[in-house]
A and B are shown apart, each in its own frame.
Chain A
Amino acid sequence: NAGVMQNPRHLVRRRGQEARLRCSPMKGHSHVYWYRQLPEEGLKFMVYLQKENIIDESGMPKERFSAEFPKEGPSILRIQQVVRGDSAAYFCASSPLGLNTGELFFGEGSRLTVL
Chain B
Amino acid sequence: DQQVKQNSPSLSVQEGRISILNCDYTNSMFDYFLWYKKYPAEGPTFLISISSIKDKNEDGRFTVFLNKSAKHLSLHIVPSQPGDSAVYFCAASVVGNQFYFGTGTSLTVIP
Contacts and interface: CB of A to CB of B under 8 A. Distances in A.
Interface in A72-109: 91, 93, 98-100, 102-109
Nearest to B39: A108
Contacts of A6: 43
Among A41, A48, A102, find the residue whose CB has the most chain B CB atoms closer than 10 A. Answer: A102
B19 interface: no
B97 A99 contact: yes
A1 interface: no
A4 interface: yes
B49 A102 contact: yes
Contacts of A103: 34, 46, 49
B34 A99 contact: no
Nearest to B34: A102
Contacts of A4: 43
Given A98-B96, A103-B34, A43 B101 contact: yes
Interface of B: 4, 6, 32, 34, 36, 41-46, 49, 89, 91, 93, 95-104
Interface of A: 4, 6, 33, 35, 40-45, 48, 56, 58-59, 91, 93, 98-100, 102-109
